[in-house]
Structure 1
Amino acid sequence: MYCKSCKNVIRQAKTFRNLFNFETPEICHHCFKLHMQHFPYFVVPIQNGLLHVFELLNKDVSQAGDYLYYFRPYYQAYFKLEMTIDAIYIEKLTLKTIEMFDQMNLGHLIIFTNNFKEE
């Protein structure tokens, strides 16, 4: 399979653990590292709780959906928490969206996002 960004071949080493795993990322690790957020977690206090935000990318990319493969460790950690806190995925998180969540009195919420825009 080829990377959608740089068009290079994506190679994955096959082991006994991933022998029957046929899912491959659409973006190679090199291209992901060019756009990745080095500190992807921050907390925003809201009424009656906290917003736990996991931001994957630091730059705006044209096809952000191609990077969803790299959210897998975060989703797996969320499932291990037995889903005690609600979680959602938002493509681009803005301050208006955070204000909306604040007014809704949701309590604790986990947000997975590709990009956070401070305007």
Structure 2
Amino acid sequence: MSLVELAREVRENAYAPYSHFKVGAAVRGKSGAVYRGVNVENVAYPEGTCAEAGAIAAMVAAGETELVEVAVIADSPTPVPPCGGCRQKLAEFGRAETPVTLATTSGARLDTTIGELLPGRFDASHMDNA
């Protein structure tokens, strides 16, 4: 099963009783293992969790700290990019050239990279003198 298909499958488990906007994400760690996440809403909106953050948390909980591929899917007219916070989270664990596939449930796709999603990113190299 492709990373997009795995994200599509897990998307059904999203907890989105307020927006009804379910998002699924899957990331492939350097080991080849796949970790998935969904958006989890909360009645206090800022307390929710994005699908990408959930997938990254699952990867880190499994002991991996590098992702090599990302897929995100939602029921939207066009592919939905990660929010700003999730772009930074992806940049923390992936390289600029790491492929990211953004997809819709109707089959539209946008293939990009972490570097294209977050140009001029802040990364660990900025902390070399700290």
Higher relative contact order (Cα pairs below 8 Å, separated by 6+ residues): 1
- Fold match, TM over 0.5? no
Q: What's the TM-score, normalizing by structure 2?
A: 0.27
TM score, norm. by length of structure 1: 0.28
Q: Which has the larger radius of gyration?
A: 1
